[in-house]
Amino acid sequence: MHSHRIDAAMLGTGMIFDETYRPFFEQPDASRFVAGDSVVDVRLSAVATRSGSRAAAYARAAPPRASGFRSYCGPGGVAELLASPVDAVCVATPDDRHFPAALAALRAGKHVLIEKPAVLSLAERDTLLDAARRAGVLVKVVYHKLADPDHKKLRTHLADGTLRHVNSGYCSLLEPRSVSRDQFSEWVVGRNPATYVGVHYLKLIDFTFGPDWRLARVTATGQRGIVGPPDGPTFDSVLAQVVYAYPDGREAAFDLHTGWVTPDNSPGYVDQEVQFRFDNATWNAHQRKRGVEVTVEGRTPLAMKETPNHHYNGTFLEPWGQRSQRGYGIEVIRRFFEEVAHVEFGGPDAARPERLAATRALDYNDLAADRNVVAAVQAVEAILREQAEGRPGGVVFVDHPLGELVLFRPGDATPTILHPSASAIAAPS
Ligand SMILES: NC(=O)c1ccc[n+]([C@@H]2O[C@H](COP(=O)([O-])OP(=O)(O)OC[C@H]3O[C@@H](n4cnc5c(N)ncnc54)[C@H](O)[C@@H]3O)[C@@H](O)[C@H]2O)c1
């Protein structure tokens, strides 16, 4: 057995770092594993944040395995971090700051994992993919809901022919008001809950029911007046619809309900459910109503969740006496590092290109396979921007003769090309 170490870096150490990355880096059972004939140890080596204060607090609190990292902050922090010896970079900055950080990391030759939504436009996605190709590294996106056992079973039923041909459905993901008011107050202005969190379900639909269809249209409408003023650019909740077209002309439509203004004492904190309808079946799933309902005086529902989702991320006393924190939220982080380890240490150097290509072909997390999700994100962002400017009711057509993403507004004969078709991009000017 050989031994290898992967030096990992975090850009951003906010809520999602605490929930999923921190337990990954802290627990040797999670961040040390076998790849090929090597034992690979992943260590948190460097962190870049806006002010440095949370990183400093974490360095004081972390166990020795995770505490010795270098900390960078301020406007030059990311560049300084990238000049230091790290192999893989996890981007967990606010949504609209993923792109510059991820691009800089790829250009520095680092493997990159980006929190969802990876980027907010197809142009940004294309740029990152190009940078990753040039550097010969991975660029992946975190979509932990794909590793939820219920969603894995849904996909398994489809693969086995038990569920046949999805026609329609809805997904609902409602977050408490504290998320928009406190947690994201620094960057909530101009943002919306659909592309921040509804993106989980855009990916679930696209990945689970594709690829034998094409994304055809996207519409959305948002509500305002709680997080920001009724005529401002910040949305409280959003209802979006994505429509896919099958080659035989049938269509499948999905409604997405998202919000970040439900009462803070709502049961379970985040309310999430889906319903999918097939030619021969229906599927209803609720992420928090999976059986456990707990009430503790003075603790539920705020300090403790009443209907907890222990599959995502839970702290446990294992039957064999050990304390652990595990769940699919942490699993997907480990998968990324296993993929990096496979590329770098999974066989002879001469075969690295084949290992890189095989790892890029994993479409559950590769940015290359995220085209429809990024297209829907860009479409929703554009439609809501139009609404904020007094032009509601837009529809974005995907792969329209005029372009890859084309926005139509009611009563306006002139569409806006949000993203040109590939042939238009390639054509000489
Ligand atoms: N996978 C999930 O289910 C999930 C859940 C929550 C959040 N997220 C995603 O994770 C990302 C971060 O969300 P969060 O909840 O941790 O946010 P947060 O506001 O709690 O933390 C953001 C972090 O980014 C840092 N930061 C901000 N600007 C920066 C910059 N320019 N350079 C370096 N660091 C910078 C801040 O200092 C902070 O540490 C978002 O993209 C969000 O959509 C994913």
In ligand 1, the atom with minimum distance to the C-alpha of 13 is: 39
β-strand pairing of 38-49 with 2-11? parallel
Nearest to 327 by CA among 305, 355, 299, 308: 308
137 CA from centroid of ligand 1 (Å):
23
Contact 113, 140 (CB under 8 A): yes
291 CA from centroid of ligand 1 (Å):
31
In ligand 1, the atom with minimum distance to the C-alpha of 184 is: 19
State residue 35's pLDDT score.
87
Q: Which amino acid is at 305?
A: K
Report how far residue 79's alpha carbon sits from residue 104's, in angstroms, rounded to the nearest whole number: 7
Query: Going from the N-terminus, what domains does the chain have, and what CATH number goes with each?
Result: 2-144+322-362 (3.40.50.720), 149-310 (3.30.360.10)
19 CA from centroid of ligand 1 (Å):
12
190 CA from centroid of ligand 1 (Å):
16
State residue 318's pLDDT score.
95
What is the per-residue pLDDT across 317-358, written as a single tens digit (0 to 9) for each? 999 999 999 999 999 999 999 999 999 999 999 999 999 999
In ligand 1, the atom with minimum distance to the C-alpha of 187 is: 19
Nearest to 138 by CA among 355, 371, 372: 355
Contact 126, 146 (CB under 8 A): no
47 CA from centroid of ligand 1 (Å):
13
Report how far residue 200's alpha carbon sits from residue 143's, in angstroms, rounded to the nearest whole number: 6
379 CA from centroid of ligand 1 (Å):
22
In ligand 1, the atom with minimum distance to the C-alpha of 51 is: 37
In ligand 1, the atom with minimum distance to the C-alpha of 197 is: 43
Nearest to 31 by CA among 317, 326, 347, 311: 326
Q: How far apart are the first and last CA of the chain?
A: 55
Q: Write the residue with the smallest CA distance to atom 23 of ligand 1.
A: 12
State residue 41's pLDDT score.
97
State residue 429's pLDDT score.
45
What is the per-residue pLDDT across 148-185, written as a single tens digit (0 to 9) for each? 999 999 999 999 999 999 999 999 999 999 999 988 88
Which runs of E-coded beta strand occur in 265-394? 271-278, 282-286, 314-317, 323-326
Burial class (CB in 10 A: 0-12, 13-18, 19+), 393: middle
Q: Write the residue with the smallest CA distance to atom 7 of ligand 1.
A: 16
| Ligand 1 pocket by Cβ (under 6 Å) | 11-17, 48-50, 54, 78, 92-95, 97, 101, 115-116, 142, 144, 183-184, 196
State residue 426's pLDDT score.
60
In ligand 1, the atom with minimum distance to the C-alpha of 17 is: 16
- pLDDT by residue for the chain (429 residues), tens only, comes to 899 999 999 999 999 999 999 999 999 999 999 988 899 999 999 999 999 999 999 999 999 999 999 999 999 999 999 999 999 999 999 999 999 999 999 999 999 999 999 999 999 999 999 999 999 999 999 999 999 999 999 999 999 999 999 999 999 999 999 999 988 888 899 999 999 889 999 999 999 999 999 999 999 999 999 999 999 999 999 999 999 999 999 999 999 999 999 999 887 778 999 999 999 999 999 988 888 899 999 999 888 888 888 899 999 999 999 999 999 999 999 999 999 999 999 999 999 999 999 999 999 999 999 999 999 999 999 999 999 999 999 999 999 999 999 999 999 999 999 999 987 766 544
Q: Write the residue with the smallest CA distance to atom 15 of ligand 1.
A: 15
Contact 10, 47 (CB under 8 A): yes
β-strand pairing of 70-73 with 38-49? parallel
User: What number of other Cβ atoms are within 10 A of residue 344's Cβ?
Assistant: 22
98 CA from centroid of ligand 1 (Å):
9
Q: At what angle do helices 199-209 and 371-388 cross, to 10 degrees?
A: 140
318 CA from centroid of ligand 1 (Å):
30
Q: At what angle do helices 371-388 and 122-135 cross, to 10 degrees?
A: 150
What is the per-residue pLDDT across 360-370, written as a single tens digit (0 to 9) for each? 999 999 999 99
